[in-house]
Amino acid sequence: MTELGIADATPEQRLGRHLRALRRSRGLTLKQLAETASLSHPFLSQLERGLAQPSMASLERLARALGTSRVELFASAERHDGAGGSAPTIVRADEGVIGPYAEGTARMLTEGPRRFEPIEFRGSNPTASDHFVHDEDEFITVIEGSVVVGLGVHGEWTLGPGDSVYCRSGTLHRWRSADGEPYRLIIIKELFGTHTATAYPKDARLSGQLAEGSWA
């Protein structure tokens, strides 16, 4: 298949390119990622080439296996015209890609070429999901409500409005509502590929040995 420019590619092709780049940045082969995400090798190959559309369940399994989220994968499929250069980008309150993220809903706060991912997250989950772990640094600040942030071996911390946490590359992290009430966070993640990858053992990623870490 002839490679098209990003602006000319279909959403499926842009998503496929992003999945391939993420997989390679994580040091995973097609077969390893397919096994981790419980998908077939041929289907994943077609997906990376923009020849297939994943179900929401398949996309969630891929996101978990790659240390990202469905909303970030949705955003990767958006068309970028390549213009803008140093010009500012404005995203209004009723704009931005919206989709599932962890145990809640997230809205992407920017679009087009960028060096980091600012995300608005809303949730009310009283229990936490599995830990996330990825190569990119991540900053989280609480805007509304009270949350309990789990940081693996670094313990659990209750945070309220104005409190923040910075998770460096490879840090296990997850969160939940401290009182069952809704909460709102601003999350700022490094754009993948801008950070020198932490050398996690591949077998640890695939077998879940990263202390409940969610590469899978």
pLDDT for res 7: 54
pLDDT for res 79: 56
Q: Which two three-digit tokens encode residue 200?
A: 């996690």
Task: List pLDDT tens digits, range 35-77.
Answer: 999 999 999 999 999 999 889 889 989 988 888 888 888 887 7
Give CA–CA dist 22/114, Å, rounded: 16
Give CA–CA dist 158/204, Å, rounded: 29
- Quick check: helix, strand or coil at residue 90? coil
pLDDT for res 85: 62
One pLDDT digit (tens) per residue for the chain, 216 residues = 344 455 568 888 989 998 999 899 888 999 999 999 999 999 999 999 999 988 988 998 998 888 888 888 888 777 555 445 678 889 999 999 898 888 899 999 998 878 899 999 999 999 998 888 888 899 999 999 999 999 999 999 999 999 999 999 989 999 999 999 999 999 999 986 655 544 433 333 333 333 333 332
Give CA–CA dist 208/213, Å, rounded: 6
Query: Read out DSSP for 44-77?
Result: HHHHHTT-----HHHHHHHHHHTT--HHHHHHHT
- What pairs with residue 140 in β-bridges? 165, 187
- How many other β-carbons are positioned within 10 Å of the β-carbon of residue 180? 11
pLDDT for res 91: 94
Global pTM value:
0.74
Burial of 175 (0-12, 13-18, 19+ CB in 10 A): buried
Give CA–CA dist 72/24, Å, rounded: 17
Whether the Cβ atoms of residue 144 and residue 182 lie closer than 8 Å to each other: yes
